[in-house]
Structure 1
Amino acid sequence: MPKLHHLHWVITEVPELRIIEQPLWDEAKARQGALKTKGTIDNIWDRRRPRTLFSGLLKCGFCGGGFSKVSQTQFGCSTARNKGKSLCTNRLTISKTDLEERVLGALQDNLMDQDLLEVFCKEYAKERNRLNAEAEHGRGALEKELATVNRDHAKLVDAIIAGIPADQVKDKMQALTERRKALEAQLSHTAPSDPIRIHPNMAATYQTRVRSLISGLSKTGEMQEAQEALRSLVDKIVLQPSPERAKLDIVLEGALSGLLTLALGVKRRKGLSLKNQAFDNVGELVLVAGVGFEPTTFRL
């Protein structure tokens, strides 16, 4: 028997034959929505909470692969253990306690140095002034053209009042009107932005907040938020054999946006991590002052 073309199908809803009733279906869909991480489009299982404080941030300085737990208390290079010596010979390990103590100590004492902060602030001010000068130049050109358009438009109005048929200048007036609207729209979006005020004690403020976060790691109600905030300060942690290959040296690479976010006291929006959240002011600060800056690194 030949298949019936879909255009000839007759489809009729038969609710009484449903396998799943509508209320249960609606409840299941609502539960699916709840399993999405708030503020993201990711499913909860795609954004699993890190097993340890710095899970996923550890890298082998020898091969570039990841470091993971190789025992209850030790971290080691995954490549060296899973793929053999041909790809990586770094078989050294580091304890979770030693790793976290050294990294947390560096986050607190080394990644917001007062002298470096002063250099950063000077670079920010210099670059901000340069960008403002460019913006003012562009704004001045737009304002000049707008003044010309307004004068030309006024002349056409005067011409119509003087007796020139409106049909003769209709197209020109319409073009000037559209151009005026476009220029006004551009000017409304190019208003000079206020520079971010960087407090001279920002480094001390940062250190106080890091100490508070470290303290929060031992408090049940604050632990998760403290972990997220501390992780946001780190771009990656590179573990590489020391010159004598007796132990692992740590190179900590700070995340500039996270460091500044904490130091400036910007509040985190619920459901978003400090690293991923779009902070307008901090983002602008990173883009402006961060031009030409290497990632904040410190060897432990």
Structure 2
Amino acid sequence: MEITAAFYGRFSTDRQRETSIADQERVCDVRATAIGFRIVVRHTDEGVSGSTPVAARPGGKQLLADALAGRFEVLLVEGLDRLSRDMVEQERVIRRLEHRGIRIVGVLDGYDSDSSARKLHRGMRGLINEVYLDDLRAKTHRGLAGQVSRGMHAGGLSFGYRTVPVEGGNRLEVNQEQAGWVRWIFEKYANHGWSVQRIAHELNRLKVPALRGGTWSVSVVYGHPQRGSGILNNTLYIGKYIWNRSQWMKDPDTGKRVRIDRPVEEWITQDLPELQIVSDEAWERAKERMTRTRAQGGPGRAPITRTLMSGVLKCGVCGGPIIAWNKVMYGCSIRKDRGRAVCTGVSVNRDKVDDLVLGIVRDEILTPEAIDELEQEVRRLMSVQRRESVQAQADAQRKIEASQAEIDRLIDAIAQVGISPALASRLQAAESELAVLQAPSQERKQPELKMRSMANIVARYRTMLENLDEILATDLDRAKELLREILGQPVIEKDAEGHVWVTLDKEKASMLSHEADSTFGCGGRI
């Protein structure tokens, strides 16, 4: 009988020619032919780190999907490091695949799921692979530190500069065109009192290219004062270069890379006056205003409240998320952050949208099909409750009988050999245990499970839905997930006549009419 197999290949960077996909595929094809496997599935990931979770890679995700669907019996890889260089992730993936009955063969490292020493083998390979990553990380960091000590650029290009190749590496130099815009930003912020939002909007209106050709946002202009990010917080603009302020580490729970700030004593700081773009006076004025603004609750403060529909709705113009602009209005986050030059966007009254969308949700979960599903679930739960109650009574009765039997044995022992302190103590303890076991049993000898009528349950269900907004607000993250499951992702859009519509994925729509005072009121129905 022919055995079906899958090939999986991965490499991290374009420089890894010796482990290119073609080379990996070639050695796996040779092994498959020699053993008699037929490769029916091929998945690859190019330019993906071995520390990235398999399910977070495009090819890895497809591989796992094919495995769960039973499309192959054997997985061929060049080595276990192609699956993962993280011991925990490697073990998790291998166990998942082998639990599905899939044999894993590492062609070059000799791993084979059929081997009795497989756990020892993969444990050693996992340790070697993880140490390799740590060693590579340390060597890369040491090399970058050496470049910095020699006055070279170690990555992380800022707006206002460009790199020029020199002997031994790359150096920074001022990009005069961009430097003019840096000075313009500081001038508008420090001297003219412009908000960072207005600055970002104006840069986009003037079509000034951002560093990587995108558009300007509040975060690009303002950044983070403690991290030294953003135009207004970048010390390089006053000729002070700081390197090694932070590092990126993978969160073991989510698999995502998160930024970790390093201690100040690990920073490497250099004075490079030739790279100064902004005067010391302009820098200080900007910092003074920034301090005042943060004290007044401006940029840098976390949002005071979170709203139910923020992130659930999306803009019909640019596709960006709809957020709470203020206590009254929802609007496009892209328009708010980057300006009308990037997205003309829409805005709509929060209360009216909440009422409208929650009304749709209520109708959706009160359909005959939903009520029927509710009834089935209630009956299932009641059935489980009955079984558990019967089992609990049986367990309690067995414990009572066992305790009574122990008391009888102790009494027999006392009758034969006489009472002793040890026997008396044990008999007293056994009688106490029996009293505890019998007390609840006597209180409810035959517990009667009373199931409310289905009509009462549905009535209570409807009553709860009247306060749906309050119920959902108790766990916003979970509520947003449920809303997306029911609604998909509703779109807020405006038609040619100025009417604003909430359009659902399931071809449901409701109109909010455009009033004269530029707010939007609910003027239609589902």
Shorter-chain TM-score tier: 0.3 to 0.5
Q: Which has the higher contact order (CA 8 A, sep 6+)?
A: 1
- TM-score (norm. length: structure 1): 0.42
- TM-score (norm. length: structure 2): 0.27
Which protein shows a greater Rg? 2
Which structure has greater strand proportion?
A: 2
